[in-house]
Structure 1
Amino acid sequence: MGGPSQALPSQCPIDDQTIFTLASCTKLPTTVAALQLVDKKLIALDEDVSPLLPVLGRQQILVGWQADGSPILRKRRNPITLRQLLTHSSGCGYDFYHPDLKRFRRYQGTTLATQKAKVAEWFNQPLVFEPGQGWEYGAGLDWVGKLIEQISGMSLEDYMSRHVWTPLGASSYTFWPNSPGCHRELATLAKRDRATGKLDVSLKGLDLNRNVKECFGGHGAYCSAADYAELMFSLLVNDERVLRPSSVELMFENQLSPESKEALQEVMRTRDLAGGDYYAGEVYSWGLGGLLVEETHDSEAPYDRGPKTLAWCSALNHYWFIDRSKGVCGLLMTHVVPSPDAKIKPLIRAFLQHTYRENARPSFPGFL
């Protein structure tokens, strides 16, 4: 599906081959790549990653502030595991979300613009809780990208091209859309003025990943909607093109400790973090790759979302979901900032209502 863009010339309409900045939609493919290494027994989900990621391994926990404004840090007691990095339960936050990490950056005297070239530079910051005992959306998948590089001996770009996208027959996914081999048009970003509700479509050339010098597995990739949907469909039908069936099953199961799951529930109740469509009566946890809508029998949603639906979003108001109980998945890409957008949220709801009404199958064979 596609149509004319408000930002691109009329001769370059948006379609399923247009290249989009994925932002946090990068996290799902990176998760799949990491699970391939687990399938090959090159690392375990509950293995301590500190020996492979020494900068991360050195991080202490930020527990408060001295009267003079200096941070109070203490050594962590728990290991940092791959499972925790994949599920935002490691204590790694984002300095543009978490107020204490924003304050820590100011204390350091650094800015985002000067630090974002490499993962170990940008996210050389303390943890915000003991690993496995909280939930905070953050940089875990960026560290997972570095872990994949360490284990495979390949760049994340090359690893994913060879082991994730080639088996799917997909070729648009890249971390370097301006490299000589990339010829397709990159969709332009639009910015919503929240005061007027109008879109500024004059942002051609704006790139959320400008100045980066390596692959960021949590937010740095670009891809067409058609290729991204191919990965989603492979996971939906569990066709073994990229993962063993048992690993796909694991993606759709709760991966959080009780403490981390309760922390996530609190985030979903109190913070407007997640673009998407969520309702009272639903129980949330985190699978491998996205938010897990774990229970839906008391949901107030105006469509029949099934249990164990995996879904997530991005800072550009993209939204994807995979509902294996109903045999349906969907992807909506918008390229609008900031997120969440008050006008796109109803669009996501309408998209879900239409998709479930026209495509869901109550008894999808072979699942759940």
Structure 2
Amino acid sequence: MASSFELLVNEAIKNLDVPSIAVEAIRRDGSPSPLFTSQNAIGKNTLFTLASLTKLPTSIAALQLVENGTIGLDDDVTDFLPTLKQQRILKGFKADGEPILEDRTNPITLRHLLTHSAGTGYDFSNEVLRRVQSFLGEHLSSKPTIEQRFNLPLLFEPGESWNYGCSIDWVGKLVEVLTGLKLETCMSKYIWQPLGVTSFTFWPHRQDVAKKELAILAERDEETKKLRPVPEGLSLNIGVTDCFGGQGGYATVQDFLQLLYSLLVNDGRILKPETADLLFILGRGLLIETAGHGCPPSRGSNTLVWSGAANLFWFIDRQNGLCGLFATQVMPPADHVSQALIKAFHEEVYKQISEDAARQC
């Protein structure tokens, strides 16, 4: 018998409310959580645009360098990242719109970058950074490299506040400088190969990757609420020539789930257990949600969660021994239909845990 969640998904697909959905959840013992009784998810070889889900493997690549002594969490990284080093702090604007900039006094550390406390921002989500670009007469969001696209002033002194931005892209560039490898090569060697993962890439249209199907991105019209296909894909990834570690990855749902599961059981395949624990205690960089105000009461304390722009969502709940991933390809972020499905996904997963616990009593 189909679950209420499966019926909801079937209805959404039938009504063309979402272009595609893939969901997976795995328990600590390796058994799948039975979310579907029939095949509704798309093909297992289908690549999804991960967007900000890319931040997790990029952060892991950096922690591997901490683990082997290449760099420390509290080391100043700016000597390796000259474009970031030269950034001053935006304090306001003159009457003619010219930015008022002051020299930075604090170092920028790897910890700052990992926890979004370095002062960096995204221009597409920050009005003051768009004002800077307007004054300069530039549109940096379409630039192909990290140094060009994120050549923006800091919003505050590093370590003194929090802002979600491009810091993990800088982490990816740091990994490249320190290893001498492209980020994709580094991840393949030290993260994906140990996990048996083959689908992850920054270049879905490359000849050796093109044999895999790429899930179609769609955008919901604000007026009609209908979806229209976006065959060119996520605008943030168009024309890039760098591996953007904060937004540029593609992978299958099953492969990305292998990463989540490794962190759930803390198996030591990609990080030592004590290093993996840092992901759960570093703070707001990789968002830690505790079972407190505003969080689902069923979710265990110190659950690690994150999401991607095209309404993807993952979680690792060590307390309840479960990890899961919901993936669709709908813009804009926080699309109301997709968010309702994510909520139903979460409720179904934890409902099964409760039912299993009741049967064991």
Tell me whether the two structures share a fold, i.e. TM-score over 0.5.
yes
Give the letter for the 1:193 counterpart.
D
Shift of 1:77: 1.1
- Structure 2 unaligned segments of length 5 or more: list them: 1-5, 21-39
Provide the rounded CA distance (Å) in 2 between the counterparts of 1:16 and 1:329: 18
8 A Cα contact 1:328 1:356, kept in partner: no
Indicate the residue corresponding to 2:332 in structure 1: 338
Shift of 1:120: 0.3
Match of 2:205 among 167, 178, 189: 178
Match of 2:310 among 313, 316, 320: 316
Give the letter for the 2:314 counterpart.
W
Indicate the residue corresponding to 1:33 in structure 2: 61
SS of the aligned residue for 2:304 comes to strand
8 A Cα contact 1:62 1:72, kept in partner: yes
- C-alpha spacing 1:321/1:300, structure 2 compared with 1 (3 Å): closer
Provide the rounded CA distance (Å) in 2 between the counterparts of 1:207 and 1:344: 17
Give the letter for the 1:140 counterpart.
S
1:293 has 2:289 as partner? yes
Structure 1, residues 317-364: CA drift from partner, whole Å, max 9, x if none? 1011111111111101111000111111111111001111214788xx
Indicate the residue corresponding to 2:175 in structure 1: 148
8 A Cα contact 1:188 1:206, kept in partner: yes
Indicate the residue corresponding to 2:157 in structure 1: 130
Provide the rounded CA distance (Å) in 2 between the counterparts of 1:251 and 1:218: 16
Shift of 1:16: 3.4
Provide the rounded CA distance (Å) in 2 between the counterparts of 1:316 and 1:112: 21
Provide the rounded CA distance (Å) in 2 between the counterparts of 1:92 and 1:300: 27
| Off by >2 Å, runs of 4+ in structure 1 | 1-8, 202-208, 297-301, 359-362
Match of 2:225 among 160, 185, 197: 197
8 A Cα contact 2:140 2:148, kept in partner: no
- Structure 1 unaligned segments of length 5 or more: list them: 256-284, 363-368
Backbone CA RMSD of aligned residues: 2.1
Provide the rounded CA distance (Å) in 1 between the counterparts of 2:127 and 2:102: 18
8 A Cα contact 2:123 2:141, kept in partner: no
Structure 1, residues 300-327: CA drift from partner, whole Å, max 9, x if none? 63x5111101111111010111111111
Sequence identity of aligned pairs in percent? 46
Shift of 1:243: 0.2
Indicate the residue corresponding to 1:168 in structure 2: 195
Match of 2:274 among 239, 246, 260: 246
SS of the aligned residue for 2:324 comes to strand
SS of the aligned residue for 1:64 comes to strand
Match of 1:59 among 84, 87, 94: 87
Give the letter for the 1:286 counterpart.
R
Give the letter for the 1:158 counterpart.
T
Greater relative CO, 1 or 2 (CA 8 Å, sep 6+): 2
Provide the rounded CA distance (Å) in 1 between the counterparts of 2:294 and 2:90: 37
8 A Cα contact 2:289 2:295, kept in partner: no
Provide the rounded CA distance (Å) in 1 between the counterparts of 2:266 and 2:256: 15
Provide the TM-score with structure 2 as the length reference: 0.85
Shift of 1:137: 0.6
Match of 2:70 among 42, 57, 76: 42
Indicate the residue corresponding to 2:350 in structure 1: 356
Q: What are the residue-to-residue correspondences of 1:253-268 with 2, within 5 Å?
A: 253=281, 255=282
Give the letter for the 2:177 counterpart.
Q
Shift of 1:215: 0.5
Shift of 1:204: 2.2
Provide the rounded CA distance (Å) in 2 between the counterparts of 1:96 and 1:297: 31
1:306 has 2:300 as partner? yes
Structure 1, residues 75-109: CA drift from partner, whole Å, max 9, x if none? 11110010111111100000111111010111111
8 A Cα contact 1:91 1:130, kept in partner: yes
Indicate the residue corresponding to 2:245 in structure 1: 217
1:88 has 2:113 as partner? no
Provide the rounded CA distance (Å) in 2 between the counterparts of 1:207 and 1:343: 19
Shift of 1:196: 2.2
8 A Cα contact 2:122 2:164, kept in partner: yes
8 A Cα contact 1:328 1:359, kept in partner: no
8 A Cα contact 2:87 2:152, kept in partner: yes
Shift of 1:207: 4.1
Give the letter for the 1:316 counterpart.
A
Indicate the residue corresponding to 1:269 in structure 2: none
Provide the rounded CA distance (Å) in 1 between the counterparts of 2:345 and 2:114: 28
